[in-house]
Amino acid sequence: MDQPDATTGRAPGPAPEPAELAGRLRAVIQLLLPLLRGQSLHRDLTPSRMAALAVLAAHGPLRVGELAARMNIALSTTSRMVDLLDGCGWIARRPDPDDQRASLISLNDDGLALLGAVRRETTGMLAERIARLAPDRQRLLHDALPALEDLAEWAQPPAARCADRPAPPTP
């Protein structure tokens, strides 16, 4: 006979269907994203601009084409976004030493400061809500993070995956 789970007190049942998990996970993520995106004091920082800043912080300096590939969006869209980021004063452009016709894009001090402030703000809001969860729910959330991190890694195009972290095994 199966022993009850220490965190839930229930006997483990059959593994849930992947489609059911996918649907529930998608719905939860859709509900959480506004919390992380929309309540920011930085209204001119859209989700796509935030994503571009995060990619530049993690992998910059990059050519516009490399940024587009890491974000998995069209080059023309990325070019317009880079112009907007530049207009906001969040990035620096400099000639690519390997090809003087190309530019390298990186965050400047204002961009780094903005990214740090938004990350602290959204982490704080989420931490407040996690603190309201019962300790057993907090433990379940903690235990689910490795699987969620694997899903996030699989969602990235191969060029964007961290070099020091191997690709997750094929499910």
Q: Cα(150)–Cα(3) distance, rounded to whole angstroms?
A: 28
Of the candidates 34, 36, 30, which has an alpha carbon nearest to the alpha carbon of residue 125?
A: 36
Of the candidates 59, 58, 64, 112, which has an alpha carbon nearest to the alpha carbon of residue 84?
A: 64
Q: Is the peptide bond before 166 cis (omega within 30 degrees of 0)?
A: no
Query: Measured in whole angstroms, how far is the alpha carbon of residue 153 from the centre of its chain?
Result: 10
CB 20 within 8 A of CB 27: no
Could you tell me the pTM of the whole model?
Answer: 0.71
Task: Please state which of the ranges 41-50, 55-64, 108-117, 136-145 shows the lowest mean pLDDT.
Answer: 41-50
For 51-62, the pLDDT digits (tens) are 999 999 999 899
Instruction: Look up the CATH architecture of domain 44-133.
Output: Orthogonal Bundle (1.10)
CB 115 within 8 A of CB 57: yes
Average pLDDT over residues 117-143: 93
Spans of all domains in the chain: 44-133
What are the b/e assignments for 12-35, b being 16+ CB within 10 Å? Answer: eeeeeeeeeeeeeeeeeeeeeeee
Structure tokens of 56?
Answer: 């530049």
